[in-house]
Every structure is written in C-alpha cells, then in structure tokens.
Amino acid sequence: MTTTPILDPEAAAAERLLRKPRTLWSDALRRFVHNRLAMGGLVLVLFFIILAIFADLLAPYRYDKADFSKVLQFPFVDPQHPLGTDEVGRDFLSRLIYGARTSLTVGLAVQLIAFSIGIPLGAAAGYRGGAVDFVITRIIDVMTAFPGLLFAIFLITVWGGGLEKVIVVLGMTSWIGVTRLTRAQFLTLREKEFVGAARAIGATEGRIIFRHILPNALTPLLVALSFGIPAAIFAEASLSFLGIGVNDPLPSWGKMVGVSSAYIRVYWHVGLFPTILIALTMLGFSFVGDGVRDALDPQLNL
C-alpha cells in the first residue's frame, strides 16, 4: 500500500495566498485568448482599425483625387493604381482604405450616442420604476413598432444625408436596445443584498447607481457594445448602398457596392473589393462579439 504524501496544510495556504489573484477580467481574458475563432476575429478587427486610423499614411492618394484620364481601370494593370480606379478615376485602393475610416467612425459614434442615451434612461427606468419607468417603457414600445430601416429612411429624407446625419439617425434608433438591457439589469440588481446594504449605510442614490449597480451591469453592456458596433456599420453600409447615406466624395463601402451595380457587368472590381472588406469586417466583429460573450459569461449558452 502506497502512502500519498501528506501536504503541509499551512504551506498550501501560503502558496494560495502568493498566487496571483484571479479576477473576473483575467479569467475572461484567458478564456478569450484560448478561443481560436475569437482571436481570428480580433486579427480582422485590428486590421480594420489600423486601416481606419492610419488611412492617411497607408493610402497612396487622397480619397477625393480624381483623374479623368484613368477612369475605371482594372486592378493589377497599372502599378500606380494597384486595385484599379473607380468611375471618376479615383484610386480604388485609397478609397477602400478611407472607407474603413467611415465605417469605424459610424460604428463608434453611433454606439456612443446609443450608450449615452440608453444607460441614463435605462438606469432611471429600472432603478426608479413607477411613473418614470412607465413613460420610458411606452417610448420604447412606440419606437420598436416602427421598422428601423423605414424610420431611418424617413428621417434622412427630412434632414438630408451626410456622415453626421447618418450617425444621428442611426443613433436615434440604436439606443432602444441599450435602454432595454440597462433597465432589465437595474431591475434585478436593485433587489440584491449588496444594494440594500449600501442603502442601509446611507449611500446616496447617485453612489448606489454609479458605484454599486452600474459596475455589476457592465458585463452584458460590454457584450451589447461588441455586437452594436458591427450592427451600426451594417446599417451605414445599407443606407449608403441605397444612396441615402454618406455623401460624395467621402468613400463608404456600402455606397461603392450600390454604385457598382451599374458597371459590374464589365468592371467586376468596383463591386468585389468593397464586398470582401464588408464581409471580413462583419465576420471579424461577429467572432469577437461571440468571443467576448463566451469569455465574460461562460454559463450563458446561446
């Protein structure tokens, strides 16, 4: 019979104390890094962000520099325009790179609007309840009843297109989800013991909301953000595809696809390249979003 070595319980306890503490975030990071699909998505997203930030350095030309003597050149022919030119002779590679900037601007700005409206409204509705909750919930109900795309088209016909208008219009429709999510979180969290304890020791309402409840609601909000950015990029591409989004000469991948349908019979590159970039970006964000969700909430099984 073999005897198993008896561990010194005190030494084990000491070792446990010396070990680096494992927090929610370090656990999540570890899970995310081990998720191959999520890391692949992250590479795509980083590529996209680098294109957007360093567009001025990476693009060989300005996005609006037209050369009417070189209209609709094919790719891989002229070394000066490796990906060809568009219908007014603008370098296609440069426009694709600057298109990333348009997409990223819309994606981030729309989420900024959505969260800065959604979190206060949702917090007020969920924490206060009563009449405040009633009014906010009714507004959400009315907004959900209208189809999002039709609402955006309607607003843009009134205000006109352009980057800022697109951002505002998409922001006006995308806060609903954030509000609903924040409200639901606050509704459950305000009944928890730690909130009661904070109230018992006399914490102010603002302190309870911002220091106690909001940090606990951060995880689902972060997941919502990682899905919200690609949703806004998707919506901008759709509006621009219809010709009611970003105005010329600012490049947008969606607009490039919309315009391309007139030439695509011969000039396949004006359609193919922007769709590839849209696809890679959307897939990248979607893998990262799935990864973030799985990493932060491993019990959540969707």
Partner 1 sequence: MARYLLGRALSLIFVLFVVSVITFALMHTVPGGPFDEGKQRLPEAAKANIMRKYGLDQPIWKQYLNYMWNALHFDFGIPYQVPTETVASLIAKTWAITFQVGLMTVTLAFSLGITFGMVAAYRRGSWVDTGVTFFATLGTTLPNFVIALWLILGFAYGLKLLPSGGWSEPENWLIPGVFSKDWILPVLAYALAPMALVARYTRASMVDALQSDYVRTARAKGLRDRTIMVRHVLKNAAIPMVTALGPIIPDLITGSIFIEAMFRIPGLGKYFVTSTFNRDYPMIMALMLLIAMLWGITYILTDLAYVALDPRVRLGGKMR
**Is residue 45 close enough to count as binding partner 1 by CB under 8 A?**
no
Kindly list the distances between the CA atom of residue 100 and the CA atoms of 16, 109, 179, in Å, as whole numbers in the listed order: 47, 14, 28
> Helix 163-189 to helix 218-241 angle, to the nearest 10 degrees?
150
**Is residue 134 close enough to count as binding partner 1 by CB under 8 A?**
no
Beta carbon of residue 302, minimum distance to partner 1 (angstroms, whole number): 9
Beta carbon of residue 225, minimum distance to partner 1 (angstroms, whole number): 17
Question: Which of residues 122 and 274 has its CB atom nearest to partner 1 in the complex?
Answer: 274
Residues touching partner 1, count (CB under 8 A): 31
- Residues whose CB falls within 8 Å of the CB of residue 287, separated by 6 or more in sequence, listed in order: 37, 38, 40, 41, 42, 44
In whole angstroms, what is the distance from residue 93 CA to residue 193 CA?
A: 57
41, amino acid identity: G
136, amino acid identity: I
Binding mask 198-237 vs partner 1 (x if CB under 8 A, - otherwise)? --------------------------------x---x--x
Beta carbon of residue 239, minimum distance to partner 1 (angstroms, whole number): 10
**Is residue 173 close enough to count as binding partner 1 by CB under 8 A?**
no
Question: Which of residues 216 and 238 has its CB atom nearest to partner 1 in the complex?
Answer: 238
**Is residue 18 close enough to count as binding partner 1 by CB under 8 A?**
no
**Is residue 158 close enough to count as binding partner 1 by CB under 8 A?**
yes
**DSSP structure string for 259-291:** HHTTTTTT-THHHHHHHHHHHHHHHHHHHHHHH
Reading the block at residue 145, the tokens are 């009843």
65, amino acid identity: K
**Is residue 296 close enough to count as binding partner 1 by CB under 8 A?**
no
Torsion over CA of 193, 199, 204 and 206, rounded to 10 degrees? 20
Say how many C-beta atoms besides its own lie within 10 A of residue 109's C-beta.
18
Beta carbon of residue 147, minimum distance to partner 1 (angstroms, whole number): 7
Which of 50, 153, 184, 203 forms a contact with partner 1 (CB under 8 A)?
153
Provide the binding-site residues for partner 1, judged by CB under 8 A: 145, 147, 149-150, 153-154, 157-158, 230, 234, 237-238, 241-242, 244, 254, 257-258, 260-261, 264-265, 268, 271-272, 275, 278-279, 282-283, 286
